[in-house]
Amino acid sequence: MRLSRFDYLMLLLNIVAGMALIAAQKAPYVPPTQAWYLAIFGLAYPFIFLANCIFSLYWLFRKRVLLIMSLLFLFSTYGSLGKVFTFQPPAVFSTEQASIKVLTYNVQSFDVYQEYPVEDETTEIIQLIKREDPDIVILQEFYSHSEKFPNIDRFKRELGFKWHHFESTFNHKNTVLFGLATFSKFPLSEGERIDLKGTTSNLISNCVVEIQNKKYALFNVHLQSFKLGADDYRFIEEITDKGPDIESSKSLLRKLRNGYQKREKQVLALDAAIGASPYPVIVAGDFNDTPMSFVYETISDDLLDSFRETGFGVGGTYSGPLPSLRIDYIFSDSSLQVLTHKVIHEKYSDHYPVCSELILP
């Protein structure tokens, strides 16, 4: 078999891409405190998979013998593909079965730090939620000011929610509040919080909702972000044009490592709380991690992911500088059937809202 110099280069790059694909496959099963760098391959999995597909096409028309190698790389991670890409047909259920509609949304504090009034942003988000008409709304980075913007009361009044549970990440004299808010048309009780070590801006809250005389545990989740700033995103965008900058690279890698390792501890605390719940659970929120991660693997192991059950495409929920990332989820106990999953592409935050209908047992 004779290969040109370009073929040899493509072969070398194909082997590198194939090994990267295998590393991405391993990432969800290795705690970041043991090998955090593997998580980066998991983050890049869709792009690595696409690169391997391109190599397969190249060998299909160039050297079919080498196509076998390229396909073996692809098939070695085939089981992970459904976490990232899915094309599920709509679920079918009897109209006699009761269902609830759950919406989760990181509202980015209603852009309180922006120049335009927070009230305008809040109004748009309320109108969005009103159109969807969910039974339960689970919000992260919720902001309320008892004097200027009493958003807790406003959400209950304008959206018709009788019950709510709020846990703060910041509380200034019970006037200025930031935190996690859960609103419900059904009774809520037993509200509590799970504080996360090493952070003041992330939190897990849980409460119990009673629907048709049966109780379910609701978990509102906001895990550690990478805390990337404008300079980090600018570096990511420019790296292909100007080449890597050593100091910027070190700063970015440090933030990635810290984010992955902190989320590992946080998700283990969440998993323990889920395991201790005496009730079937519904877990939703901003996990700040993709499906090819230790965080996702830990939580999805015993729960249903609404996207994987009835979603379509890639299901990206992040609307910021790195679009198409799926980092917001609705998980549910296996006793509930997932009827629908929808990402609402209206940009009032750096996240898109996620909505799912669940059939009650």
Instruction: Reply yes or no on whether the pLDDT at 76 is more than 90.
Output: no
The residue ranges of DSSP E strands in 117-158, in sequence order, are: 136-145
Place 245 in a pLDDT band, splitting at 50, 70 and 90.
low
- The residue ranking higher by pLDDT, 258 or 236, is 258
Place 144 in a pLDDT band, splitting at 50, 70 and 90.
very high
Instruction: Reply yes or no on whether the pLDDT at 250 is more than 90.
Output: no
pLDDT of residue 135: 98
Mean pLDDT of 17-26: 96
- The residue ranking higher by pLDDT, 268 or 96, is 268
Mean pLDDT of 213-228: 92
- What is the spatial distance between Cα 347 and Cα 326, in angstroms, rounded to a whole number? 15
pLDDT of residue 95: 65
* CA torsion, ordered 118, 124, 126, 128, to nearest 10 deg: -150
Give 3-state DSSP helix, strand, coil % of the chain, rounded to 5: 45, 25, 30
pLDDT of residue 232: 42
Mean pLDDT of 152-160: 96
Let me know: does 100 contact 357? Beta carbons within 8 Å. Answer: yes
- The residue ranking higher by pLDDT, 324 or 150, is 150
Instruction: Reply yes or no on whether the pLDDT at 31 is more than 50.
Output: yes
Instruction: Reply yes or no on whether the pLDDT at 235 is more than 60.
Output: no
pLDDT of residue 259: 93
- The residue ranking higher by pLDDT, 70 or 114, is 70
The CB-side HSE value for 319 (13 A sphere, CA atoms) comes to 16
pLDDT of residue 28: 97
Q: What contacts 45, CB < 8 A, 6 or more positions away?
A: 21, 24, 27, 80, 84, 290, 292
Instruction: Reply yes or no on whether the pLDDT at 345 is more than 70.
Output: yes
Mean pLDDT of 162-183: 94
- The residue ranking higher by pLDDT, 236 or 45, is 45
Structure tokens at 209: 């909702």
Domain ranges of the chain: 5-84, 99-359
CA distance from start to end of the chain: 61
pLDDT of residue 198: 82
Region of poorest pLDDT, from 24-33, 241-250, 281-290: 241-250
Question: For the chain, what percent of residues have pLDDT higher than 90?
Answer: 74
pLDDT of residue 291: 97
Architecture of domain 99-359: 4-Layer Sandwich (3.60)
- What is the spatial distance between Cα 289 and Cα 224, in angstroms, rounded to a whole number? 9
Instruction: Count H helices and E strands in the chain, helices first.
Output: 12, 14
Place 341 in a pLDDT band, splitting at 50, 70 and 90.
very high
pTM of the model: 0.91
pLDDT of residue 190: 95
Instruction: Reply yes or no on whether the pLDDT at 34 is more than 70.
Output: yes
273-300 pLDDT tens trace: 999 999 999 999 999 999 999 999 999 9
Q: What contacts 12, CB < 8 A, 6 or more positions away?
A: none
Mean pLDDT of 195-224: 95
